[in-house]
Amino acid sequence: MLCALQKETVLRKEVYKGEALSTIYFGGGTPSVLSTEEIDMLIQTVMDHYSVEEDAEITLEANPDDLTPEKLLALSKSRVNRLSIGVQSFFEEDLKFMNRAHNAKQAIDSISRATKLFDNISIDLIYGIPDSGSERWKQNLETALSFNIPHISSYALTVEPGTALQRFIAKGIVPDVDDEMAEEQFQELISTLEKAGFVHYEFSNFGKPGYFSRNNLAYWQGETYLGIGPSAHSFNGKQRSWNISNNPLYIKALNESNLPEEIETLTQRDRYNEYIMTGLRTMWGVSLQKVKDEFGSHFEEYLLKQAETHLADRYLFLDGDTLLVTRQGKFLSDGLAANLFMLPLEKKN
């Protein structure tokens, strides 16, 4: 697999030429199981074949149970300069409910050790866990803030089809997700982190000034990104591509010097919809001028027409040329964006 990842990295250099890379991100799985030597080997492959900014942000996603004292010390001596730790909760009952491999003590210990070796640390927290309650959520936030870390990503618990959680809920073994409670905890999240000096720069992401994730910014601001590995997605502004998810087939294709990808060329409508979705999730919103310049005046007119109801309901507001989500509308961001999408015309019989 490591050889295949290196091979794809080299093959992609011909496809993605341009500006220097500002971020390298190891995620979408459990990259912390790799040794630091293996991680550095993959980083070196990128360095050898791409232009990389001198101060590039190099992030490693890690589970708390992987971050032993020895592992953290080794990582601190590697090229990795940012950690994203999948804490999810500091409560044992929440971690068991989510079937996490680590326990609450490991979560606390991993952050305590990491802060002694890394300046740039992010942690993930989950809200909307059934029966978690507002007090437990407040304690989760207080614990997170006690480490003085500069970035927090927080996501609502979602029930995916075909998962054990979905089956447990269907059988009444565990309660269903309470959207009202999730929104209450989301609002508490915003209030608490903003008071602590964090900027809510994207729906799920909070960073102190100077510590916004470059990886997140690239994605949410529509910049080009390149994904390496099984199931990885890439985007160049006009095309989206994704690799096959089957590991053996992925390795086989790379051994034969083939890119194991599918490519979709986005239509003008697709690109407009994507800009609306990503823009509304961020503090920068959707620029009406950009919509007009890139997609045409009819797209701008359509957007304003679709937004009328939400502007009246105070879920959206206009700040000069920019369409933004209000504090009241933030929890509904994705739904609001969907209502602004331009849908394909239905075929008449």
Strand order in the sheet with 286-287: 286-287, 322-325, 316-319
Could you give all domains of the chain from N- to C-terminal order, each with its CATH number?
17-220 (3.30.750.200), 268-340 (1.10.10.920)
Q: What is the pLDDT along the chain (349 residues), one digit of tens a residue?
A: 999 999 999 999 987 777 789 999 999 778 888 999 999 999 999 999 999 999 999 999 999 999 999 999 999 999 999 999 999 999 999 998 888 889 999 999 999 999 999 999 999 999 999 888 899 999 999 999 999 999 999 999 887 777 777 777 777 777 777 888 999 999 999 999 999 999 999 999 999 999 999 998 988 888 989 999 999 999 988 899 999 999 999 999 999 999 999 999 999 999 999 999 999 999 999 999 999 999 999 999 999 999 999 999 999 999 999 999 999 999 999 999 999 999 875 443 4
Tokens describing residue 343: 């849908």
Question: With a threshold of 0.85, does the pTM exceed it?
Answer: yes
Q: What is the DSSP string of 277-327?
A: HHHHTBTT-EEHHHHHHHH-HHHHHHHHHHHHHHHHTTSEEEETTEEEE-T
The C-alpha angle with vertex 264 and arms to 286 and 287, in degrees rounded to 5, equals 10
